Amino acid sequence: MAGEDWSDIENDLIVADYFSMLAAEIARQPFVKAEHNRDLQIHLNDRTRGSVEKKHSNISAVMVSLGQPWIVGYKPLPAFQNSLVDAVMRWLEANPGWLRPNSAEDFKSERDSVREVPTLWIGPAPTFSNEPPPINAEFMAKIARKYDVAERDARNRALGRAGEELVLHHERTRLRSERRDDLADKVRWTAVQDGDGAGYDIFSFEQDGRERLIEVKTTNGWERTPFHVTRNELAVADVNRDSWHLVRLWNFAREPKAYSIRPPLDAHVALTPTSFLASLHLR
């Protein structure tokens, strides 16, 4: 009913509808928002078109905070019930494979007859001074911590692997464009070919032959979605300050973008301990 808090049933209905539109948008399939709105109103408790529109924008704000893509046409609008976050989490838990990560080949243009995948534009790390966040940064950080957004991305092995693959192709394409085919042939997907534990995912080169060690962190969310860095990665970064790079891929489901940060990492990001090793006392 108008003016009353939305029930869990209503939240679940509108969240499911939101994801159906989002999936269509990502797949570049047409849909009509007004039709979705009308169909929803039939199943809701006397909710108006305006209230449904507002709730869709509230869901966009939740999605930003959870490091998820969101519907471009629904600008993130904060100030929502906590139960709405719970509803989005219920949907995500029930549909873990809803967003299949694109492979490097998927990002090739249909008009592209060249076998190589186009290179990424890898820019500097963003700061709040050059682009304001879509919603309050402190509020987003609180939700990200509560639902451990970074850990969810880290557990998504398919997403991580797809991001590494894209950077691998990027490095080979970059070196070939710089007429260093000899180096391009030596680029290694360390995380796959040699196993985890090296402290980086891709072993590549600069044009002049210097080593380039790349750790890849991938998210479907926006550029400031938090991510995990392991103790080993920090140690390797510190020892290899001249060659280690962290490449952060974001907006991966739609049009992957990236930025790069160099050691020392604490000059660019706030590093927060998230776990402790516990051992029984010896008596």
pLDDT at 134: 63
Q: SS3 helix, strand, coil % of the chain, rounded to 5?
A: 45, 10, 45
**For residues 62-90, average pLDDT:** 90
* Separation in Å, CA 228 to CA 81, 151, 218, 237: 28, 7, 10, 14
pLDDT at 188: 97
Indicate the SS3 state at residue 125. coil
Return the H-helix or E-strand segment holding 246: strand 244-250
Give CA 254 to chain center in angstroms: 10
Residues contacting 23, CB < 8 A, separation 6+: 98, 99
Residues 21-74 pLDDT 10s: 999 999 999 999 999 999 999 999 889 999 999 999 999 999 998 889 999 989
Picking from 241, 235, 196, the residue whose alpha carbon sits closest to that of residue 216 is 196
Residues 225-247 pLDDT 10s: 889 999 999 999 999 999 999 99
If you average pLDDT over every residue of the chain, what do you get? Answer: 87
pLDDT score of 154 more than 60: yes
pLDDT at 19: 97
Under the banding of pLDDT at 50, 70 and 90, the label for residue 133 is low
On the 0-12 / 13-18 / 19+ scale of CB atoms within 10 A, 71 is buried
Residue type, 68: Q
Residues contacting 62, CB < 8 A, separation 6+: 80, 84, 85, 88, 143
The side-by-side arrangement of strands in the sheet containing 244-250 is 122-124, 257-261, 244-250, 211-218, 202-205
Cis peptide before 133 (omega within 30 of 0): no
